[in-house]
Amino acid sequence: MSDKKSLISKPRLRDIAFFFGPLIAFYAVFYLFSTGFLIFTSFQKISISLRKGTFIGWRNFELLLTDPNFINAVTNNLVFAAVSIIAGLTLGFVIAVALSTGRRGKTLLYAVFLLPTLMPLALIASVFRVLLESRFGGLNELLRSVGLEQMAMQWLIDPPLAYGVVVVLFINMIGLPIMYYTANLSAINTSVLEAAVMDGARTGRIMREILFPLMRGTHRTIILSTILMSFRAFDIVFFSTQGGPAGTTEITGTYVYRFSTSGTNVGYGSAAALVVMVVALLIAALQLFWTRKRS
């Protein structure tokens, strides 16, 4: 995480309380209690009224881990996260660098890339859905009208294509990485760049060999936050494919939702939420460990 020496070695208890107190309060109320609740209910078969729960030990977890749909959902989460990260670190980086030059229309371009991340995901996902309808959707109608009927596929129905659509949706969220790179870019030391230019280096080389390595902190932020936040994803899949067709694009968010709407098996939903948290924890730990080794 930090390879800089911290400023104050041993803070007084009073300072710890002052600076960390509010955070601890929030976490205790909202996360500790919730986790405790999840643990408590995950070992029971219990309904949302929380009356008459029966203790069933590890059964919920067994059922969960033997459900191929759940494993598939977790895998999808990881794949979509990986795709987002790769897109962010490559395409996002390039776009951010390109936009950081003093060109006209910068703000408009920023807006176009940023808007999808700031708008309700329900809107974007449902727009995609309507555009890609196989029979009456805008894209296929367009393709048919220019004689490209063979390309008018069933984008949301054919499993590999539907998967691709969701991938595209995730990439659509490239605005956030762009924003972080932009912030970091404006603050870097330009003397190194001057030297490189003086040496006759071309843009591509400058980007790859100087700028990219300089942004290490931002890379890490993006990777970590994308991985973790991908487990929060729900709207983006729910409003486009709903986890379909037949669970192809299911993610943990839509999986848990499916079982929580009937309210009769809160225990199972809690077990799912806990397993997801553990998986996220492991992955985050792995990622931190790996980056610490490299730096």
Partner 1 sequence: MKRLILACATSALMSTAAYADDVTLELWTWYPSETVLTKIIDAFEDENPGVNVNLNLFESGAYQDRMPLALASGDPMDVVAVQTSTMVNLVKDGLQPLAPLFDEHGSASIDSLISPSALTQAQSLASDDDLYIAPLGVLGSAAVYYNADLLEELSLTIPRTRDELATFVASVTEQRPDLLPISFTGANWFLDEIALTVAEQAGTGFFNSVRYNTGGRWDDPAYVAAFDAVVSAYSDGLFSKDTLDLDYGRSAELFQQGQAVAFMQGTWESGLLSEPHRTSNTIPLNNVVASGLPVLVEGGSPSIRSFIEVGLAVPEQAKNPELSVKFIEFMAAGGGVEAWSDTLFVVPAAVGFELADGIFNSEAAEASYDEIANLLLNPGSDRNNVSDFSAAAGDALISAILNGDSTAEKTAHLQSEWESGRYSNSE
Partner 2 sequence: MSKNNDFLYRRPVEKAVMAGFLVILALVWSVPLVAAVVRGFAFNGWQNFSDVIFNDIGGISLIRTYFNSFVIALLHGFFVALVASLAGYGFAFFEFRGKEVAYFIVLVFLAVPATSILVPLFFITRELGLRDNYLAVALPEAALTLPFGVLLIRNYAEDIPRSLVEAAAMDGASNQRIYLEVFLPMCRPAIVNIIALSMMWSMQDFLFPSLFFSSKEMTTAAQAVLRFREYLGSTPDDIGRYNASLVLLAVPALLIVLFGLRFITSGLTAGGVKE
Q: Which residues bind partner 1 (CB under 8 A)?
A: 45, 47-52, 59, 63, 67, 129-130, 132-136, 154-159, 242, 244-247, 258-265, 268
- Please tell me whether residue 39 binds partner 2 under the rule CB under 8 A: no
d(CA 278, CA 270): 12
- The one segment of 52-60, 68-76, 159-167, 226-234 that binds partner 2 by CB under 8 A: 226-234
Q: How far is the CB of 68 from partner 2 (least distance, A)?
A: 21
Cβ neighbours of residue 260 closer than 8 Å, sequence gap 6 or more = 266, 269
- The least CB distance from residue 29 to partner 2, in Å, is 6
- If DSSP codes are grouped into helix, strand and coil, which group holds residue 287? helix
Long-range contacts, stretch 1-4, CB < 8 angstroms, 24+ apart: 1/288, 1/292, 3/295
Residue 275 C-beta: closest distance to partner 1, Å: 14
Altogether, the residues listed in the chain come to a count of: 295
Grouping H, G, I as helix, E, B as strand and the rest as coil, residue 112 is helix
**Antiparallel, parallel or unpaired: β 44-45 and 54-55:** antiparallel
Q: Residue 131 or 188: which CB sits closer to partner 1?
A: 131
Q: Is 101 in the site for partner 2 (CB under 8 A)?
A: yes
Query: Which residues in 144-183 contact partner 2 (CB under 8 A)?
Result: 172, 179, 182-183
129 binds, among partner 2, partner 1, none (CB under 5 to 8 A by kind): partner 1
134 binds partner 2 (CB under 8 A): no
Of positions 124, 156, 162, 223, contacts partner 2 by CB under 8 A:
124
Within 8 A by CB and 6+ apart from 70, the residues are 64, 252, 255, 272, 275
Q: Which of 51, 52, 135, 202 binds partner 2 (CB under 8 A)?
A: 202
66 binds partner 2 (CB under 8 A): no
| Residue 247 region by backbone torsions, left for phi larger than 0, else alpha for psi between -120 and 50, else beta | left
